[in-house]
Amino acid sequence: MRKKKRKIIKYKTVTFKLSAKQMKSLRNYCRARKTTPTKLIKKSIRNYTEYFSNEVPEKYHVSHNQLELFDKGHEDIELFG
């Protein structure tokens, strides 16, 4: 029997800068949790990288001219007193 070929996964590189204090804090946190910075970052952004690959649902789109103050669910806000 023949083995199936594995699908080739293409990777992209993302870079960003952290201050010295932020990097020290990240290293200390990772050391305490016995993980690596890469694993921690990937786990933190997994929700955004896995569920929106095809299309972003309409509820996540932002209208630049509309305040969120008037959305449903904010009826309990008192504006004047």
- pLDDT tops 60 at residue 78: yes
Assigned domain for 32 exists: yes
CB 37 within 8 A of CB 30: yes
Within-domain flag for 44: yes
Q: Say if 4 falls within a structural domain.
A: no
Does 22 reside within a domain?
Answer: yes
Enclosing domain of residue 28: 18-50
Q: What digits encode the pLDDT tens for the residues 2-23?
A: 888 888 989 999 999 999 999 9
Report if residue 31 sits inside a domain. yes
pTM: 0.60
Q: Say if residue 71's pLDDT is above 70.
A: no
Q: Yes or no: say if 22 and 40 are a contact pair by the CB < 8 Å rule.
A: no
Token pair for 7: 């699908």
The answer as to whether 29 is a domain residue is: yes
With a CB cutoff of 8 Å and minimum separation 6, the contacts of 37 are: 26, 27, 30
Taking 3-state DSSP, the helix, strand and coil percentages for the chain, each rounded to the nearest 5, stand at 40, 0, 60
In this prediction, residue 61 carries a pLDDT of: 77
Split into its structural domains, the chain has a count of 1
68 domain-assigned: no
Give Cα 32 to chain centroid, integer Å: 22
